[in-house]
């Protein structure tokens, strides 16, 4: 990565250093052309940094840039002001090309106070030498402790080689609005638009859209603030970048992962969503609640996770497949109900937006920790389909696919998303509606006299279910072991017949799967295998490494249970195989850990057991999305492992 | 429209459902003398009298002796998991107002593991009938104390006697927001059992019936005092509630005229010390029903889905230059 931030021009002396903040700068040279930049806007919760970031991203996307945004979220609703723990905001990665992940470290940061800046520095999220813009009101704070803190942090930041610019946000905003705290975000947006040479009209249109539901007075005030930010930057800041834009050729939409899931629910033809509030899944249901009734459907906020799952099962049983949306702790609570759906063969879509675990864990943070519980969480043998989404666009289409699979095979389909996708925004091609996405009307035709509710097909294990209202179809569904008539049966052979057919459906479904193509060459020294939200970061790492001459490729799995055939053949063509997962594995460097006790990441464990291949794994459960840079370091270490071992042996 | 037409056709085909039309091929496996048998009979009689098409009737249950009832009905049944019959039934009803939904549950299923759902089901007030078979004990798992077991009951988990006072399902239900129908009836007076069930079925909203149910195996003689002494039972009568036939009236002389709309009196009756109130304690047909409040205002059609999706896409759309105006112009 080029360290753009390190390049200095002769004109960029920080205004505060020059003594007069409002001094007009001499004419500048042209903006520096760059391929991409990562921008972070951080503030106290409630100061609007997130809104600013979202607006910046939208303007950039409309300008034809590739974008990826991710929220920087404090775990509390109202964390203490000016605290490291309270940093709230947005990271926006803007590029001349398509962006698929959050990237590594930020090139430019705007902080509303020095504590939130400190939070990002401590998390090592800021690139050495990066541009840092900071609100300077704290310099003269009445509280000497605050002024002292500000002075210390800014001095440290300068000493460390960052390019610090102090901005009189409060003073400037006061010229336009009585409460500067509520206006800074649009002022800052103006500054960013100038820095990144973004179109004025697009920025103004975005501000109008952002405040569309507000009073015209508020819209006007924010437009003024935007203009003021632009003007201030024009006059006082010499930092200018220009990211080449590719013209938009196909209509696109920009959503975050949870909104895409909600739109997918509407498009899938499901009519009932039963849920219970849980972070980070709930925003999908929030958005769904605003649109589902318009298409005659219902979001039911149940009294708990268990009733959300059983309500969905009841609705599915009575007609069309229903969905329940949750996160890890909710998935744990739903497990008995999921087992019931498996046993009774009621179609059900379960969306799990994963977060850090176990227990309450890291509610707002990223982890891929639920794969095993999604597959094996219910007691007994409870085969169900588990799939993972790997982009924002995939969130939309996966729900449509999941509903179809659930109703074709009368099975539970679990969709694994995670906190890396839930709030991340990315543009994708505007979906073209297709009536085939929707479910057919509820079957209410009479059941043939000789049919049984569990007439398992001996080739596929599938039985046509009877839906209440169908004459002659009366039977009693039960979670107990049952025969083809749904009669309770404890007979060993009958129990085995049920087990066999429920398992067989998974095998029949597996026959319909096709393995995704390998990213990179079909053979080489190292194959990285991933699943879910890490796709963009893994493929970017592979691309970078391949450009450097390394024989690295990657394979990304969409279906985790069952998995497509052919993974073994792909693995054989590589010297080493390693999974990249955003979940826990025991570090080999730990003196307690050896081959006999090492706990592997989820996918690695499964692949090892199925294919008897010595697959390694790398990843972490630090609550952050995996970044291309750290994947590259891990892949290089894996490639060099033998050399190191050999050297150590000598 | 099509549903009602097919319903008419079915009515023409089945001019007259008999009791046997609601009996499944499975013989009930309850113990001899178990009150559940009486409840099943009352259910089948109700279905016959109301001529409910079996395919439009759904019996939902959880786990326990009572929850076996759906297996013995020739109707659609859903024998679910412990404590969760109510949310399953709610899910069934939410998009299917045409189905007649009955929930059968026990004191362990409803008042212990499923207590949260019971509370909220009352609050949702969806159109369905719930039968709480309350025998004051866990039967299927062989005699453990339940939340409604009397203090002092010796059971396998309380060998020295249950330590707590029992929970009162009537006073609990009557204290929940949106309560719309609460009744109590013993299993040993078949006429009353039927009458209460019929009242519950015809009530608009969530009808809660607590049935005092005898368990000959684990709680033998538990209700003997009430069975043998009619004065222990206080009959609640009213033109909008139970109306006792003269032959019953002669036996059950302890009567009170109780207006089922009088919630405060109902709450007082629910906690009578020495006597058992029988009849309709509360019935208010004007409480809003969740299934009606959440009913889809428009049918879910492909055209509607397409329109709404495009509206949403427009809000977050990015257009190639020149195209957006065209779309807005349409």
Strands A348-354 and A412-418, bridge-based pairing: parallel
Q: Are residues A286 and A238 in the same domain?
A: no
pLDDT for the residue numbered B306: 98
pLDDT of A644 strictly over 80: no
pLDDT of A1 strictly over 60: no
Q: What is the mean pLDDT of residues A619-637?
A: 97
Task: Give percent of chain B above pLDDT 90.
Answer: 92
Q: What is the mean pLDDT of residues A90-108?
A: 96
Q: Do residue B77 and residue A431 have CB atoms under 8 angstroms apart? A: no
Which of A474, A475, A479, A482 should one mutate to test binding to chain B, selecting the residue with the greatest count of B CBs within 10 A? A474
Buried b (16+ CB within 10 A) or exposed e, A586-609: eeeeeeeeeeeebebbbbbbbbbe
Residue scoring higher pLDDT (A593 or B329): A593
Residue A332 CB partners (closer than 8 Å, separation 6+): A373, A377
Distance, in Å, from the CA atom of A496 to the CA atom of A547, rounded to the nearest integer, reads 54
Distance, in Å, from the CA atom of A403 to the CA atom of A412, rounded to the nearest integer, reads 9
State how far residue A306 is from chain B, nearest Cα, in angstroms: 8
CB contacts of A427 in chain B (<8 Å) are: 318
Residue scoring higher pLDDT (A181 or A591): A591
Give me A303's structure tokens: 């009294």
| CA-based nearest residue in chain A for residue B298 | A296
Q: Are residues A185 and A48 in the same domain?
A: yes
Domain with A219 in it: what CATH number?
3.40.920.10
Domain with A281 in it: what CATH number?
3.40.50.970
Q: Judged by CB atoms within 8 Å, which residues 77-136 of B form the interface with A?
A: 77-81, 84, 86-96, 98-99, 116-117, 119-120
pLDDT of A11 strictly over 70: no
Q: Are residues A106 and A237 in the same domain?
A: yes
Domain coverage including residue A474:
443-512
Q: Do residue B55 and residue A468 have CB atoms under 8 angstroms apart? A: yes
pLDDT for the residue numbered B52: 98
CB contacts of B321 in chain A (<8 Å) are: 247-248
User: Could you read off the pLDDT of B160-209 as tens digits, one per residue?
Assistant: 999 999 999 999 999 999 999 999 999 999 999 999 999 999 999 999 99
Q: Is B170 on the interface with A (CB under 8 A)?
A: no
Q: Do residue A315 and residue B95 have CB atoms under 8 angstroms apart? A: yes
| CA-based nearest residue in chain B for residue A343 | B80
Which of B58, B79, B87, B102 should one mutate to test binding to chain A, selecting the residue with the greatest count of A CBs within 10 A? B87
Q: Is residue A206 part of a domain?
A: yes
Give me B183's structure tokens: 């009744």
Q: How far is CA A634 from CA A59, A579, A616, A642, in A?
A: 35, 11, 11, 14
pLDDT of A335 strictly over 50: yes
Give the confidence band of B322 by pLDDT, cuts at 50, 70, 90: confident
Q: Is A284 on the interface with B (CB under 8 A)?
A: no
Q: Is B142 on the interface with A (CB under 8 A)?
A: no
Distance, in Å, from the CA atom of A130 to the CA atom of A501, rounded to the nearest integer, reads 59
Which of A66, A296, A428 should one mutate to test binding to chain B, selecting the residue with the greatest count of B CBs within 10 A? A296
Q: Do residue A433 and residue B60 have CB atoms under 8 angstroms apart? A: no
Q: Is residue A517 part of a domain?
A: no
User: Could you read off the pLDDT of A493-508 as tens digits, one per residue?
Assistant: 999 999 999 999 999 9
User: Could you read off the pLDDT of B284-315 as tens digits, one per residue?
Assistant: 999 999 999 999 899 999 999 999 999 999 99
Q: Do residue B312 and residue A433 have CB atoms under 8 angstroms apart? A: no
pLDDT for the residue numbered A118: 96
Q: Do residue A266 and residue B80 have CB atoms under 8 angstroms apart? A: no
pLDDT for the residue numbered A23: 47
pLDDT of A544 strictly over 80: yes
| Residue B113 DSSP one-character state | I
Q: Report the 10 Å Cβ neighbour count for A477.
A: 27
pLDDT of A141 strictly over 50: yes
Q: Is residue A3 part of a domain?
A: no
| CA-based nearest residue in chain A for residue B27 | A487
Q: Is A61 on the interface with B (CB under 8 A)?
A: yes
CB nearest A271 (choices: B95, B117, B302)? B95
pLDDT for the residue numbered B4: 56
Residue scoring higher pLDDT (B13 or A427): A427
User: Could you read off the pLDDT of A378-407 as tens digits, one per residue?
Assistant: 999 999 999 999 999 999 999 999 999 999
pLDDT of B317 strictly over 80: yes
Give the confidence band of B328 by pLDDT, cuts at 50, 70, 90: very low
Distance, in Å, from the CA atom of A161 to the CA atom of A130, rounded to the nearest integer, reads 8
Give the confidence band of A442 by pLDDT, cuts at 50, 70, 90: very high
pLDDT for the residue numbered A3: 33
pLDDT of A163 strictly over 60: yes
CB contacts of A298 in chain B (<8 Å) are: 94-95, 294, 296
Q: Is residue A6 part of a domain?
A: no
Q: Is A311 on the interface with B (CB under 8 A)?
A: yes
Give the confidence band of B325 by pLDDT, cuts at 50, 70, 90: very low
Q: Is residue A8 part of a domain?
A: no
Distance, in Å, from the CA atom of A188 to the CA atom of A169, rounded to the nearest integer, reads 8
Q: Is A293 on the interface with B (CB under 8 A)?
A: yes
Q: What is the mean pLDDT of residues B258-277?
A: 97
Q: Is A313 on the interface with B (CB under 8 A)?
A: yes
Q: Is A427 on the interface with B (CB under 8 A)?
A: yes
State how far residue B154 is from chain A, nearest Cα, in angstroms: 30
Q: Do residue A297 and residue B299 have CB atoms under 8 angstroms apart? A: no
Q: Are residues A233 and A258 in the same domain?
A: no
Last residue of a domain, one of A213, A242, A271: A242
State how far residue A291 is from chain B, nearest Cα, in angstroms: 8
Task: Give percent of chain A above pLDDT 90.
Answer: 90
Number of compact structural domains in chain A: 4
Q: Do residue B300 and residue A316 have CB atoms under 8 angstroms apart? A: no
Last residue of a domain, one of A512, A544, A560: A512
| CA-based nearest residue in chain B for residue A338 | B81
Q: Do residue A302 and residue B302 have CB atoms under 8 angstroms apart? A: no
Sequential DSSP letters for A122-162? HTT-EEEEEEEEEE-GGGG-SSHHHHHHHHHHHHHHHHTT-
Give the confidence band of A15 by pLDDT, cuts at 50, 70, 90: very low
Q: What is the mean pLDDT of residues B266-283?
A: 97
Q: Is B214 on the interface with A (CB under 8 A)?
A: no
Domain with A579 in it: what CATH number?
3.40.50.920
User: Could you read off the pLDDT of B37-57 as tens digits, one per residue?
Assistant: 999 999 999 999 999 999 999
Q: Are residues A366 and A285 in the same domain?
A: yes
pLDDT for the residue numbered A28: 60
pLDDT for the residue numbered B329: 35
pLDDT for the residue numbered B10: 55
Mean model confidence pLDDT for chain B? 94
Q: Are residues A544 and A496 in the same domain?
A: no
pLDDT of A12 strictly over 90: no
Q: Is residue A70 part of a domain?
A: yes
pLDDT of A373 strictly over 80: yes
Q: Are B62 and B85 in contact (CB under 8 A)?
A: yes
CB contacts of B99 in chain A (<8 Å) are: 318, 468-469
Which of B54, B316, B322 should one mutate to test binding to chain A, selecting the residue with the greatest count of A CBs within 10 A? B316
Q: Are residues A468 and A425 in the same domain?
A: no
The predicted model scores a pTM of 0.94
Q: What is the mean pLDDT of residues A237-253?
A: 93
Q: Judged by CB atoms within 8 Å, which residues 607-636 of A form the interface with B?
A: none
Which of A476, A481, A484, A489 should one mutate to test binding to chain B, selecting the residue with the greatest count of B CBs within 10 A? A476
Last residue of a domain, one of A387, A402, A437: A437
User: Could you read off the pLDDT of B218-263 as tens digits, one per residue?
Assistant: 999 999 999 999 999 999 999 999 999 999 999 999 999 999 999 9
pLDDT of A643 strictly over 90: no
Give me A60's structure tokens: 């950039």
Q: Do residue B55 and residue A317 have CB atoms under 8 angstroms apart? A: no
Q: Which residue has the tokens 């697009």?
A: A202
Beta strands in A385-492 (DSSP E): 385-388, 412-418, 425-429, 476-478
CB contacts of A301 in chain B (<8 Å) are: none
Q: Is B289 on the interface with A (CB under 8 A)?
A: no
State how far residue B213 is from chain A, nearest Cα, in angstroms: 23
Q: Are residues A344 and A477 in the same domain?
A: no
Q: Are residues A230 and A346 in the same domain?
A: no
Give the confidence band of B2 by pLDDT, cuts at 50, 70, 90: very low
Q: Report the 10 Å Cβ neighbour count for A638.
A: 19
Q: Are residues A122 and A234 in the same domain?
A: yes
Q: Is residue A640 part of a domain?
A: yes
Distance, in Å, from the CA atom of B107 to the CA atom of B103, rounded to the nearest integer, reads 13
Q: Are residues A141 and A268 in the same domain?
A: no
Q: Is B64 on the interface with A (CB under 8 A)?
A: no
CB nearest B71 (choices: A247, A312, A488)? A488
Q: Are residues A160 and A189 in the same domain?
A: yes
Query: Which region among A69-83, A400-414, A554-568 has the lowest average model confidence (pLDDT)?
Result: A69-83
Q: Are A509 and A405 in contact (CB under 8 A)?
A: yes
Size of interface A-B (CB pairs under 8 A): 209
| CA-based nearest residue in chain A for residue B314 | A253
User: Could you read off the pLDDT of A455-500 as tens digits, one per residue?
Assistant: 999 999 999 999 999 999 999 999 999 999 999 999 999 999 999 9
Q: Is residue A650 part of a domain?
A: no
Q: Do residue A337 and residue B84 have CB atoms under 8 angstroms apart? A: yes
Residue A125, CA atoms < 13 Å, CB-side half-sphere: 27
Give the confidence band of A642 by pLDDT, cuts at 50, 70, 90: confident
Q: Do residue A310 and residue B91 have CB atoms under 8 angstroms apart? A: yes
Distance, in Å, from the CA atom of A219 to the CA atom of A107, rounded to the nearest integer, reads 30
Residue whose C-alpha is closest to residue B59's, from B98, B99, B97: B99
Give the confidence band of B324 by pLDDT, cuts at 50, 70, 90: low
Distance, in Å, from the CA atom of A462 to the CA atom of A469, rounded to the nearest integer, reads 21
């Amino acid at each position: 990565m080029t360290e753009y931030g390190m390049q200095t021009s002769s004109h960029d002396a920080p205004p505060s250093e020059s003594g007069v903040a409002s001094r007009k700068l001499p004419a500048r040279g042209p903006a520096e052309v760059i391929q991409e930049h990562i921008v972070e806007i951080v503030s106290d919760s409630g100061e609007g940094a997130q809104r600013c970031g979202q607006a910046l991203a939208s303007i950039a996307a409309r300008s034809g840039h590739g974008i990826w945004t991710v929220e920087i979220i404090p775990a509390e609703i109202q964390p203490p002001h000016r605290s490291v723990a309270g940093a709230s905001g947005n990271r926006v990665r803007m590029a001349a090309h398509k962006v698929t992940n959050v990237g590594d470290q930020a090139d430019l940061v705007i902080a509303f106070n020095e504590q939130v800046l400190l939070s990002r520095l401590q998390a090592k999220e800021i690139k050495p030498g990066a541009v840092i813009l900071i609100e300077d009101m704290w310099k003269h704070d009445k509280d000497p402790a605050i002024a002292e803190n500000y002075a210390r942090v800014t001095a440290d930041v300068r000493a460390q080689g960052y390019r610090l610019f102090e901005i009189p946000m409060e003073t400037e905003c006061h010229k336009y609005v009585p409460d500067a705290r509520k206006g800074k975000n649009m002022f800052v947006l103006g500054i960013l638009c100038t820095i990144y040479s973004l179109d004025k009209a697009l920025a103004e249109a975005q501000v109008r859209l952002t405040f569309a539901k507000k009073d015209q007075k508020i819209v006007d005030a924010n437009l003024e603030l935007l203009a003021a930010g632009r003007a201030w930057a024009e006059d006082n800041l010499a930092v200018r970048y220009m990211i080449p834009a590719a013209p938009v050729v196909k209509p696109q939409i920009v959503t975050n992962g949870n909104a895409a899931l909600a739109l997918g629910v509407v498009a899938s033809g499901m009519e009932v969503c039963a849920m219970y509030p849980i972070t980070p899944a709930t925003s999908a249901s929030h958005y769904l609640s605003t649109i589902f009734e318009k298409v005659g459907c219902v979001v039911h906020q149940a009294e708990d996770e268990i009733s959300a799952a059983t309500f969905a099962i009841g609705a599915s049983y009575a007609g069309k497949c229903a969905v329940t949306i949750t996160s890890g702790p909710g998935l744990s609570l739903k497990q008995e109900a999921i087992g019931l759906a498996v046993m009774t063969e009621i179609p059900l879509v379960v969306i799990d937006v994963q977060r850090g675990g176990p227990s309450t864990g890291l509610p707002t943070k990223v982890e891929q920790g639920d794969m095993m519980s999604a597959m094996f969480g219910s007691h007994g043998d409870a085969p169900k389909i588990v799939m993972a989404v790997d982009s924002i666009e995939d969130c939309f289409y996966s729900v449509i696919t999941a509903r179809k699979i659930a109703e074709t095979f009368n099975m539970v389909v679990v969709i694994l998303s995670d906190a890396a996708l839930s709030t991340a925004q990315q543009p994708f091609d505007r979906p073209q509606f297709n009536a085939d996405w929707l479910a057919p009307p509820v079957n209410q035709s009479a059941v043939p006299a000789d049919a049984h509710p569990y007439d398992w097909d001996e080739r596929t294990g599938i039985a046509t279910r009877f839906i209440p209202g169908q004459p002659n179809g009366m039977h009693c569904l039960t979670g107990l072991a049952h025969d083809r008539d749904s009669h309770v049966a404890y007979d060993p052979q009958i129990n085995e017949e049920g087990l066999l057919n429920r398992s067989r459906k998974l095998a029949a479904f597996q026959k319909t799967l096709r393995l995704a193509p390998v990213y990179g060459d079909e053979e080489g020294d190292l194959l990285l295998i991933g699943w879910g939200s890490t796709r963009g970061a893994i493929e970017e790492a592979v691309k970078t490494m391949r450009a450097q001459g390394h024989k690295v490729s990657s394979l990304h799995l969409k279906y985790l249970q069952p998995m497509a055939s052919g993974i073994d053949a792909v693995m054989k063509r590589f010297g080493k195989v390693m999974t990249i997962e955003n979940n826990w594995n025991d570090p080999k460097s730990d003196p307690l850990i050896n081959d006999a006790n090492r706990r592997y990441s989820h996918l690695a464990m499964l692949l090892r057991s199925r294919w008897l291949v010595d697959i390694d794994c790398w990843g972490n459960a630090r609550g952050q999305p995996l970044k291309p840079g750290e994947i590259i370091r891990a892949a290089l270490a894996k490639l060099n492992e033998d050399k190191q071992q050999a050297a150590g042996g000598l | 429209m099509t549903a009602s037409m097919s319903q008419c056709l079915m009515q023409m085909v089945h001019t007259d459902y008999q009791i046997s039309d609601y009996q499944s091929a499975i013989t009930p496996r309850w113990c001899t003398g178990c009150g559940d048998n009486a409840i099943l009979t009352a259910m089948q009689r109700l279905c016959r009298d109301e001529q409910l098409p079996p395919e439009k009737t759904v019996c939902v249950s959880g786990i326990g002796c009572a929850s076996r009832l759906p297996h013995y009905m020739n109707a659609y049944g859903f024998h679910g998991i412990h404590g969760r019959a109510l949310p399953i039934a709610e899910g069934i009803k939410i998009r299917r107002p045409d189905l007649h939904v009955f929930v059968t549950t026990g004191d362990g299923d409803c008042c212990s593991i499923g207590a949260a759902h019971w509370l909220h089901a009352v609050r949702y007030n969806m159109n369905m009938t719930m039968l709480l078979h309350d025998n004051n004990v866990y039967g299927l798992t062989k005699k453990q104390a339940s939340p409604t077991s009397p203090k002092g009951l010796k059971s396998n988990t309380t060998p020295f006697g249950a330590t707590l006072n029992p929970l009162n399902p009537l006073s609990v239900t009557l204290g929940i927001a949106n309560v719309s129908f609460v009744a109590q009836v013993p299993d040993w007076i078949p006429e009353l059992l039927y009458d209460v069930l019929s009242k519950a079925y015809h009530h608009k909203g969530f009808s809660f019936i607590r049935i005092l149910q005898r368990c000959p195996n684990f709680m033998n003689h538990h209700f003997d005092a009430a069975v043998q002494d009619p004065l222990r039972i206080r009959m609640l009568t009213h033109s909008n509630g139970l109306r006792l036939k003269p032959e019953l009236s002669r036996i059950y002389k302890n009567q009170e005229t109780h207006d089922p709309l009088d919630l405060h009196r109902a709450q007082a009756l629910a906690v009578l010390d020495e006597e058992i109130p029988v009849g309709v304690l509360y019935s208010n047909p004007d409480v809003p029903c969740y299934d009606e409040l959440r009913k889809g205002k428009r049918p879910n059609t492909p055209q509607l889905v397409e329109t709404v999706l495009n509206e949403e896409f427009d809000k977050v759309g990015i257009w190639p230059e020149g195209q957006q105006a065209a779309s807005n112009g349409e």
